[in-house]
């Protein structure tokens, strides 16, 4: 059985210590529930902080805590008071939390807190390292541990790492503000699978990767220099049955056994049968939009005076992060606004807001969900918002209206709710009115759709979906690892080539023999490369063929007097050693004028891009353009060209930050076959990095050894990481005995 680690800032347990007695009970939060279903499948262990300040405990108590945690398969990461202050309250909650929720005015940029954040992420990595025996899979959670995936990967490259972010990932324009943005993105990219609640967060993350690191992105995969990282969205669900069953159970209880909250609501309802309860539940956090919500409610009371004595707002604000200044300020602000509204609109018998600043036991929470006719959930930003889902799950008779902010991740899946802009008081007030007046059939109709969806995609499904995707990524990784050119496969190739008297090497140029540079003109061969190729070519048993998308002129200039065969323009021209350029097949170039003018339009609208003209093709380069603009324009260009090129018998080749338009049926594979046909070889080696090289790999006879540079998918036999590895292999081949 494989072993699995779950990592989060806090362990999913409550610890009670009284003198010599230590009691550890599992907590019941969404994440813990979701995980419990998957932890049954694997031998797993949870690593996180217990939240205890161990400096206040005796050695005996610490021992007991650790033992009790072990029984619950938990491992404590021991944080000092100072670390909690700087890493948790500090960098996590005063830098990342406000920034990722678009509250840039609250963001602190403290080097000391950043250093503590790095230190604590390392501390987590160290505890993980001590617990790695038999572990092949790790799932890291949330914004406190953004650097952890990379720290684990560096030490344990073969372990598969998933990371899930529970809060929004902001747009690049916000994220770029952060002085430590690159380290954070690189930290996250240590994972093999990155999960977000919504496609928007995923999209924002991709955009930051593209802009900060320039990596190529293929739909939902990022090609980093070493690995492919998969990115996807997994909207977190809830334990639907738990809420639905608890609500049914509460209704079945005799009046005497009901919770105080329920009794109080029912009593009030008997007195004022026209009352509609509007429920608001969240942690007291600025991202949850409490002030806006209260002001919208105030506006509603002003505008729709006919409902003033018919609505009660039940406001449950759960204390949170009380050590952070903004949270204390917010508490005073909420107190003040609630006081103002109640002061203005209360009568002798009733006040419009019932305000609770505390957390409630689960049963009471479900009673509130079940009993209140309307839920008003209007965060300014929220990764997902589980309260909205729990409310709907607790509506056992299908009645009730959810008013939900469009800024909550949950809004993407809950379009049957009344969706509002949390900053638009008038719209919220109208939605409250609409909710009060909504016919029961409509409520049931909307909620049935919502409930069916929540039942299906519950937290268990969420967790298993994520882990199944992680397993698939692992299998892909294994496939990749199987293709990785190892020392032993290298030796095998060398041995095979040693025995041959007639060897040929088809070598792509850019990205294969040299690295990429911004301007293709600057990618001249260096001295080391000339020496390497010369040495390879000087052996009479070897033939060196450079096969590239470049133009004749450039290759003439760089390799004109060299003893290599040259194939350029992706197989349009070839030149044998000492002879002149010949066309592989006669071609027509009369199409160029019409295509050129279309491409010029893209150059005008895409700063930094330019056209390269080859004899039988036109190339639009966008490596120096804004990465996202370039990417989008490339998609547009391909779209626009599709029908045009088909009519002119042309084709579009997409390379690394280039789009090339050329005559159909010409490719590196066909050109290589011509060369082989004219003069066969018994050992063939082909190396390339681009997808245009895939033609080469697939056209060559089966016995050819083919090598892909980079991590992208390939039909080649082997993969190497970069051009340096190619050079080192060629170096070894020059030493093969004559």
The catalytic residues are 508
Q: Is 386 in the site for ligand GDG (CB under 6 A)?
A: yes
Strands (E), 56-95: 74-76
Q: Given candidates 281, 401, 544, 566, which one binds ligand GDG under the rule CB under 6 A? A: 281
Exposure string (b/e) for 359-385, b if CB count within 10 Å is 16 or more? ebeeebbbbbbbbbbbbbbbbbbbbbb
- Taking the complex as a whole, how short is the minimal distance between the CB of residue 103 and ligand GDG, in angstroms? 13
- Taking the complex as a whole, how short is the minimal distance between the CB of residue 386 and ligand GDG, in angstroms? 3
Judged by CB under 6 A, the chain residues 516 through 575 that form the site for ligand GDG are none
The pattern of x and - marking residues 296 through 335 that bind ligand GDG according to CB under 6 A reads: ----------------------x-----------------
Q: Is 382 in the site for ligand GDG (CB under 6 A)?
A: yes
Other CB atoms within 10 Å distance of the CB of residue 106: 17
Judged by CB under 6 A, the chain residues 622 through 661 that form the site for ligand GDG are none
Q: Check: CB of residue 575 under 8 Å from CB of residue 565.
A: yes
Q: Is 672 helix (H, G, I), strand (E, B) or coil?
A: helix
Q: Check: CB of residue 376 under 8 Å from CB of residue 280.
A: yes
Rounded Cα distance, 620 and 22, in Å: 69
Rounded Cα distance, 369 and 390, in Å: 8
Q: For 134, which DSSP code?
A: T
Rounded Cα distance, 527 and 738, in Å: 24
Rounded Cα distance, 29 and 283, in Å: 14
Rounded Cα distance, 1 and 135, in Å: 10
- Taking the complex as a whole, how short is the minimal distance between the CB of residue 247 and ligand GDG, in angstroms? 13
Judged by CB under 6 A, the chain residues 152 through 171 that form the site for ligand GDG are 166-167
- Taking the complex as a whole, how short is the minimal distance between the CB of residue 408 and ligand GDG, in angstroms? 7
Tell me the C-alpha to C-alpha distance, in Å, between residue 591 and each of 16, 267, 595, 626, 654. 79, 84, 7, 29, 19
Judged by CB under 6 A, the chain residues 215 through 274 that form the site for ligand GDG are 236
Judged by CB under 6 A, the chain residues 17 through 76 that form the site for ligand GDG are 30
- Taking the complex as a whole, how short is the minimal distance between the CB of residue 174 and ligand GDG, in angstroms? 17
CA 728 and chain centroid, separation: 35
683: left (phi over 0), alpha (psi -120 to 50) or beta: beta
Q: Is 189 in the site for ligand GDG (CB under 6 A)?
A: no
Give Rg (Cα) of the chain. Answer: 32
- Taking the complex as a whole, how short is the minimal distance between the CB of residue 383 and ligand GDG, in angstroms? 3
Return the range that interacts with ligand GDG (CB under 6 A); candidates 343-351, 379-387, 445-453, 691-699: 379-387
Return the range that interacts with ligand GDG (CB under 6 A); candidates 52-60, 301-309, 377-385, 639-647: 377-385
Q: Which is nearer to ligand GDG, 381 or 623 (CB)?
A: 381
Residue 540 burial (C-beta neighbours within 10 Å; 0-12, 13-18, 19+): exposed
Q: Is 289 in the site for ligand GDG (CB under 6 A)?
A: no
Q: How many residues bind ligand GDG (CB under 6 A)?
A: 18
Q: Is 151 in the site for ligand GDG (CB under 6 A)?
A: no
- Helix residue ranges, H only, 109-198: 111-130, 148-155, 172-175, 181-188
Residue 608 burial (C-beta neighbours within 10 Å; 0-12, 13-18, 19+): middle
Q: Is 384 in the site for ligand GDG (CB under 6 A)?
A: yes
- Taking the complex as a whole, how short is the minimal distance between the CB of residue 594 and ligand GDG, in angstroms? 52
Return the range that interacts with ligand GDG (CB under 6 A); candidates 55-63, 378-386, 475-483, 630-638: 378-386
Shortest CA distance to 614 belongs to which of 561, 550, 556? 550
The pattern of x and - marking residues 337 through 366 that bind ligand GDG according to CB under 6 A reads: ----------------------xx-x--x-
Q: Given candidates 383, 627, 688, 710, which one binds ligand GDG under the rule CB under 6 A? A: 383
Q: Which is nearer to ligand GDG, 459 or 634 (CB)?
A: 459
Q: Which is nearer to ligand GDG, 169 or 718 (CB)?
A: 169
Q: Which residues bind ligand GDG (CB under 6 A)?
A: 30, 166-167, 236, 281, 283, 318, 359-360, 362, 365, 382-387, 390
């Amino acid at each position: 059985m494989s072993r699995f680690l779950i990592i989060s800032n806090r362990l999913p347990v409550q610890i009670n210590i009284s003198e010599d007695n230590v009691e550890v009970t599992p907590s019941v939060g969404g994440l813990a529930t979701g995980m419990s279903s998957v932890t049954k499948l694997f031998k797993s262990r949870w690593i996180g902080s217990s939240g205890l300040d161990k400096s206040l405990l005796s050695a005996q108590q610490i021992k007991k805590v650790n033992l009790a945690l072990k029984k619950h398969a938990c491992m404590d990461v021991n944080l000092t008071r100072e670390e909690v202050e700087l890493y948790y309250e500090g960098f996590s909650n005063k830098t990342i939390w406000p920034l990722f929720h678009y509250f840039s005015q609250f963001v602190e940029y403290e080097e000391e807190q950043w250093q503590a954040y790095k230190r604590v992420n390392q501390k987590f990595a160290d505890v993980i390292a001590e617990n790695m025996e038999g572990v092949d899979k790790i799932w890291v959670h949330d914004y406190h541990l953004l650097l952890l995936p990379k720290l684990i990967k560096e030490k344990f490259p073969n372990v598969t790492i998933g990371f899930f972010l529970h809060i929004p990932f902001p747009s690049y324009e916000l994220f770029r503000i952060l002085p430590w943005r690159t380290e954070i993105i690189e930290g996250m990219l240590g994972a093999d699978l990155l999960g977000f609640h919504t496609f928007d967060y995923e999209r924002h993350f991709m955009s930051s990767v593209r802009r900060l690191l320039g990596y190529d992105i293929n739909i939902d995969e990022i090609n980093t220099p070493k690995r492919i990282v998969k990115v996807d969205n997994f909207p977190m669900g809830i334990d639907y049955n738990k809420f639905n069953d608890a609500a049914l159970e509460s209704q079945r209880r005799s009046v005497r056994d009901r919770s105080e909250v329920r009794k109080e609501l029912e009593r009030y309802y008997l007195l004022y049968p026209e009352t509609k309860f509007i429920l608001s539940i969240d942690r007291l956090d600025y991202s949850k939009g409490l002030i806006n919500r209260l002001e919208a409610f105030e506006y509603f009371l002003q505008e729709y005076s006919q409902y003033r004595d018919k609505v009660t707002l039940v406001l449950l604000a759960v204390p949170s992060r009380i050590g952070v200044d903004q949270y204390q300020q917010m508490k005073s602000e909420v107190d003040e606004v609630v006081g103002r509204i109640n002061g203005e609109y209360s009568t002798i018998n009733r006040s419009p807001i019932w305000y609770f600043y505390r957390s409630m036991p689960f049963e009471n929470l479900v009673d509130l969900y079940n009993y209140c006719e309307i839920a008003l959930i209007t965060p300014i930003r929220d990764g997902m918002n589980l309260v909205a889902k729990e409310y709907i799950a607790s509506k056992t008779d299908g009645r009730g209206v959810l008013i939900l902010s469009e800024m909550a991740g949950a809004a993407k899946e809950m379009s049957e709710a009344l969706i509002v802009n949390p900053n638009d008081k008038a719209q919220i007030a109208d939605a409250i009115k609409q909710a009060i007046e909504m016919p029961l059939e409509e409520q049931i109709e909307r909620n049935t759709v919502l409930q069916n969806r929540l039942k299906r995609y519950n937290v268990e499904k969420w967790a298993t979906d994520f882990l199944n995707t992680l397993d698939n990524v692992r299998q892909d990784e294994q496939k990749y690892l199987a293709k990785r050119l190892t020392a032993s496969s290298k030796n095998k190739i060398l041995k095979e080539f040693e025995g041959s008297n007639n060897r040929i090497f088809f070598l792509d140029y850019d990205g294969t023999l040299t690295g990429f540079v911004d301007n293709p003109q600057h990618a001249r061969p260096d001295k080391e490369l000339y020496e390497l190729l010369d040495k390879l070519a000087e052996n009479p048993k070897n033939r060196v063929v450079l096969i590239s998308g470049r133009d004749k002129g450039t290759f003439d200039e760089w390799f004109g007097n060299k003893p290599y065969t040259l194939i350029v323009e992706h197989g349009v021209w070839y030149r044998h050693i000492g002879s002149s350029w010949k066309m592989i097949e006669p071609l027509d170039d009369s199409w160029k004028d019409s295509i050129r003018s279309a491409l010029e339009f893209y150059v005008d609208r895409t700063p930094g891009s330019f056209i390269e003209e080859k004899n039988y093709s036109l190339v639009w380069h966008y490596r120096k353009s804004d990465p996202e603009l370039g990417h989008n324009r490339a998609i547009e260009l391909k779209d626009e060209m599709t029908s045009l090129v088909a009519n002119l018998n042309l084709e579009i080749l997409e390379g690394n930050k280039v789009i090339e338009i050329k005559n159909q049926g010409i490719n590196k594979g066909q050109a290589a076959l011509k060369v082989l046909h004219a003069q066969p070889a018994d050992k063939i080696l082909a190396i390339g990095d681009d997808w245009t090289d895939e033609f080469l790999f697939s056209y060559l006879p089966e016995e050819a050894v083919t090598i892909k540079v980079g991590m992208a998918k390939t039909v080649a036999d082997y993969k190497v990481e970069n051009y340096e590895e190619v050079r080192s292999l060629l170096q070894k081949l020059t030493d093969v005995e004559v």
